Amino acid sequence: MDLWVWFNQVLGAIIYYSLALLIVVPLTLRWRTPYVAASLYIASYVIAQYTSPRLTTFMWWTVPGGNIPFVATVALMDIIVVYWGLTAARQVIIAGFLAQILLYITNLITILTPPGVPGVESLDPVYSVAGRVAIASPIAYLTAEMVNAQLTWIYRKIWWARTAYSDPIALTVDTLIFIPIAFYGEVQTETLIDMIIGLATLKITLIPLNLLAIYISRKTLEEQLAKSK
């Protein structure tokens, strides 16, 4: 139990990454299409928005939920860039961005819709924070993801270079923008600072897992997809 309390995010990431690879790799090999990776990329992005308002812990720090599917998009984007090119990657990134705008609008409509049952107004803060997350995440991540896609294309022959070089900087900058926009005014300042430190540490901690996922996907897909070209 203590191990789960301290490292729940890492253990949860291992489970999520394993399931994601079990979906993406076999179906991509079967259908020879970027649609599987792109769908799971956008789904992971949106899942992160709905799970972020639920605060949890990582080691000594308080962190928002949703980090596991969010960071997993790095490995999924690697598959898209390497096998279907930079143009396809940019299209998927823009689609993910627009999906989050739609998520924000849906949350806003939900909050403004008169409740049919007394007492459900207590759930409004959940949708309110989720709506702010849906704004914060695209602002923070759209630029970083475009840069990462470009670097992945440049370093596509060196599978570890993009994750090892660019991700620590990109994910840290993303955190510095994301946390204040999403949670300022919702939590105390001390908690806000704690979340920034914890989330940056968590994302950097998950980079080796990203490297492993990218290595496995490339090893599995490269030879098979090359035969179909």
pLDDT in tens, 108-125: 787 777 766 665 555 555
Q: Cβ distance 210 to 163 under 8 Å? A: yes
Could you tell me the residue ranges of all domains in the chain?
2-228
pLDDT in tens, 153-212: 777 677 676 666 666 766 777 777 777 877 777 777 787 888 888 888 888 888 888 888
pLDDT in tens, 22-80: 999 889 888 888 899 999 999 988 888 777 777 778 877 878 777 888 778 878 888 88
End-to-end alpha-carbon separation of the chain, Å? 49
| Region at 188 (left for phi over 0; alpha for psi -120 to 50; beta for the rest) | beta
